Structure 1
Amino acid sequence: MTRYHCAHAWLPTGVAADVLVEIAGGRFVAVRPDTPLDAPEAAGAVRLAGLTLPGLANAHSHAFHRALRGRTQRGRGTFWTWREQMYAVAGALDPDSYHALAVAVYSEMALAGITCVGEFHYLHHAPGGAAYTDPNAMGEALIAAAADAGIRITLLDTLYLTAGVDGRALEGVQLRFGDGSFDAWSTRLDRLRPRPHARIGAAAHSVRAVPVDALTAFAARTDGLPTHVHLSEQRAENEACLAIHGRTPTELLADRGLLGGRVTAVHATHLSDTDRAELGDSGTGVCCCPTTERDLADGIGPARALADAGSPLSLGSDSHAVIDLFEEARGVEMHERLHTERRGHFTGAELIGAATAAGHAALGWPHAGTIAVGGRADLVTVALDSPRTAGCDPAAIGFAATAADVRHVLVDGRAVVRDGVHTAVPDVGAALREALATVAADARAVPVAPSEADGRRRIGAAR
């Protein structure tokens, strides 16, 4: 039995003071508010000053995109020019270099209070598309990296077959993403096994990258698994889908049975009223990634309307332009303010819920994301005396804190961060510098896919 005394803790009923938490076997076995530190039952408890939250869940990650931070923001461009730079990185990685990069990235997440990540994984094969001896070598590298960084992972193994809604074949670096057929992907998925820290889910990359017949087979194959899909991130996707199928991407997914409570649509930025109703009525979740959506100039999605329609909202850092779920949570509210010219669309509790319980549920960890008896013993302590949080109402922490304010992190009862230092990777900055230097050196030698600067092939191009 391990005891922690939280000066303040975010419980399902709201923020409470003097909360004694008891942990055994990686689970909460007692949660006792209004228990002073000098109470007999608190004897020997570890003191956690500040505000202690449930573990944060990063529901949408592409770990290798972290290599693009601070390298793609200079000058002008679009999603499509960014994509070519992304391809250069994708072409450079092998299982060893990807493991090293992912350990560093997931350790950065742990420092930010993230206890679980959903890795939307499509970098499957060797350059040219040939399978490694273990066809899941790249996915296994990510699962191992999460263990080394001390966090949980849901590996969302991704089906990626075509280069556009028109069914064009994959080429260049994209060949690493594809298995050649739905059956080949399904066979490879069968070889992945869950671990205590890892669950296996699935993703259909998008309606650009998965033909309609394969979407139907995918929906049946993944029944019961946490399932994610990029949806309507760019207007070009909608235009191509309407031109070829006469339906929006959301309508196409609905037709093929790929909506519902086990499904999370990522981005869902450019939606019709009918699309929003389809998603909400089916209980399909939506993962918002505001910092990436800003960085890539995607647009502002209808988060409040989706939540009101019935779609649970979760959060992701996606391309990792920033790894900070407090910033993602704020972004959901601030985007609504910019769009409507009004304030106050989401409460602090709604935003923290998106960052915690809703994110874990979207990743297939329903007993995580709350500080409650029986739940997974994840704790994230945030300072209330930093230059950013001093004077902040604890219930409004989502509007003030940043990742830099995280002081302590427990994952399944294990201390992963103490006093702002990762217990297994003491210098995360150095780990990132070393991993990123290797990737940058390798990426310079990798040719990217043919240029699309003239715009002739942009419509429906796969990310």
Structure 2
Amino acid sequence: MQIITASQALMPEGWQSDVEIRIAADGRIAEVGPMTTRAAHHLDMLLPAPLNLHSHAFQRAIAGLTEARGPDPADTFWTWRQQMYRFLDRLDADQVEAITAMVFMEMLEAGYGAVAEFHYLHHAAQGQPHDDPAEMSARIIAAAQIAGIGLTLLPVLYQWGGCDRRVLAGGQRRFGTDPDSFARLHAGATRHLRDHGHADDRLGVAPHSLRAVDAEGLDAALALCPESPVHMHLAEQVAEVEEVMAHHGARPVTWLLDTHDVDARWCLIHCTQMTPQETARLAATGAVAGLCPITESNLGDGIFDGVRYLGANGRAGIGSDSNVHIALFDELRTLEYSQRLRDRSRAALATPTAPTGRRLFEMALAGGAQAGGRDAGRIEAGAWADLLGIATDNAWLCDRHGDAALDTAIFGGHGQACISDVWSAGRHVVQEGRHIHRDAIRARFRAAMTALEATV
């Protein structure tokens, strides 16, 4: 039994002072109550640790390598995508595991307690299947074990190169599956997760997008996991919207909502290209909008209509997507600032009862837990002990309390430097601001990157 005390904690009912948390051996919170005696492990401020709801871990390896303008004077997401595909040919399974462990470690140090990995790098170079079709899923699971992070694994169905059913080419061949081969891959991932995953890990399914999956494939993927999380990219780019309209006769969000029973187990990623009507319709489904503000900024995707969506009681969470910069507080700040810049306003996502920081953070907690199918996101008996400790005795937070401290952590620009501890299902993996295996994970990552860059 681990015992933690905190001078202040964000509870389901709001901020509480002098709290004691007991964590059972199974990684769940056993008891929450008033502090009687300060524990050996005492925190200035304790928060639930959110789940990072959208990650492509391997893309961490190209962070910083795609910032030069290409030959096309209108450099866009699509030119970035081609550069990413060319890089794929050089990655082997050992390197993917090393990169993924580094990403998962960085997430924990950034304050995330778990991750939903949108995993579509299934095959070897040139699209050659592994003897075990779920070999790369096993590597993601192994990386999560090394880092100690809770994992919702989302194997991706990726059939086509576009709505016209173009055959996959180049780097996309490493993603390719049809419904039958994907079912075998998904079954293999199920076995690996059962035999080698954490007790708190989950498995879902991810039909990649309406461009990459046809209607029959989408239905087949949904049938594999009738009660598990379903994640899909949706309405990220203008060109994607135009292509879907040309082939399906409707915009992506409209087509999906008209043809499928979208409900609380769905997480639709990005949704930066929605009409006001689509925004209201999506909010009414109870699905989660998976927002990745740093990546969406980096790729020029557009601005999510957060004011309208949250105003309609829509559910949303935060992900790091391309992992170009892994920073929980920066994601939240970027989302809020995008709304302010578009509308020339301030405190865009605040409400009369919740300042901006708390509304953003509680959005990420609830949306992440729902999207990951994870019983977490709150400090409450029975929930997984995904917890985030913050030091306030410093020049950045200046011993502030409650909402003022949280707002300062998010908007003061130094919140990540104040992270002292992180638990993932009771695994105390970040202590004094450092991951407990940081040196070994970093050394393996650097070796992988050195070998990769020698081939570029």
Q: Note whether the superposition's TM-score is higher than 0.5.
A: yes
RMSD over aligned Cα, in angstroms? Answer: 1.9
Among candidates 373, 379, 400, match of residue 381 of structure 2: 373
Conservation of the 8 A alpha-carbon contact between 1:104 and 1:435:
no
How far is 1:439 from its partner? 2.9
Please show how residues 44-443 of structure 1 align to structure 2 within 5 Å.
45-75=39-69, 77-179=75-177, 181-193=178-190, 194=193, 195=197, 196-257=199-260, 259-344=262-347, 345-346=349-350, 347-365=356-374, 367-390=375-398, 392=400, 393-396=404-407, 397-400=409-412, 401-426=414-439, 429-442=442-455
Conservation of the 8 A alpha-carbon contact between 2:150 and 2:425: no
Aligned residue identity for 2:181: A
**Structure 2 length normalisation: TM-score?**
0.90
Q: Work out the CA distance in 2 between the residues paired with 1:184 and 1:332.
A: 38
Does structure 1 conserve the Cα–Cα contact (< 8 Å) formed by 2:205 and 2:222? no
Residue 357 of structure 1: how far off its partner (Å):
3.1
Distance 1:432 1:114 in 2: 20
CA contact (8 A) 1:60 1:316 kept: yes
Q: Shift of residue 308 of structure 1?
A: 2.7
Report the equivalent of 1:32. 33
Tell me which residue corresponds to 1:6: 6
What is the letter of the counterpart of residue 185 of structure 2? R
Cα distance in 2, alignment partners of residues 391 and 81 from structure 1: 46
**How far apart in 2 are the matches of 1:428 and 1:410?**
18
CA distance in 2, matches of 1:387, 1:208: 49
> Which whole-Å CA distance do the structure 2 matches of 1:183 and 1:305 have between them?
40
1:24 Cα deviation (Å)? 1.4
Q: Residues 44-76 of structure 1, C-alpha deviation per residue, up to 9 Å, x if partnerless?
A: x23333321112211000001111212222346
Unpaired runs of at least 5, structure 2:
351-355
Secondary structure of 1:356's counterpart equals helix
Q: Aligned-pair distance for 1:32?
A: 1.9
Secondary structure, counterpart of 1:114 in structure 2:
coil
Letter in 2 for 1:29: A
Q: TM-score, normalised by structure 1?
A: 0.89
CA contact (8 A) 1:160 1:209 kept: yes
After the TM superposition, which of the residue ranges 211-220 and 125-134 deviates more from structure 2? 211-220
Unaligned runs of 5+ in 1: 445-463
Count of equivalent residues: 434
Return the letter of the residue paired with 2:111: G
Deviation at 1:433, TM superposition (A): 2.6
* Distance in structure 2 (CA, Å) of the matches to 1:390 and 1:73: 37
Deviation of the 1:429 alpha carbon? 4.5
Q: For residues 74 and 18 of structure 1, do their structure 2 counterparts lie closer, same or farther at Cα, with a shift above 3 Å needed?
A: farther
Question: Partners in 2 of 1:111 and 1:385 — Cα distance?
Answer: 19
Following superposition, the deviation at residue 80 of structure 1 comes to 1.8
- Give the aligned partner of residue 456 of structure 1: none
Supply the AA of the counterpart residue of 1:162. Answer: W
Q: Give 1:415's aligned amino acid.
A: H
- Asked if 1 retains the 8 angstrom alpha-carbon contact of 2:155 and 2:206, the reply is yes
| Secondary structure, aligned partner of 2:203 | strand
CA displacement at 1:331 relative to structure 2: 1.7
User: Distance in 1 between the 2:361 and 2:285 partners?
Assistant: 23
Opposite residue 145 of structure 2, the aligned amino acid is: A
- Over residues 232-272 of structure 1, what are the superposed CA-to-partner deviations in whole Å (9 max), with x where a residue is unaligned? 11000111111121101112222331621100000000101
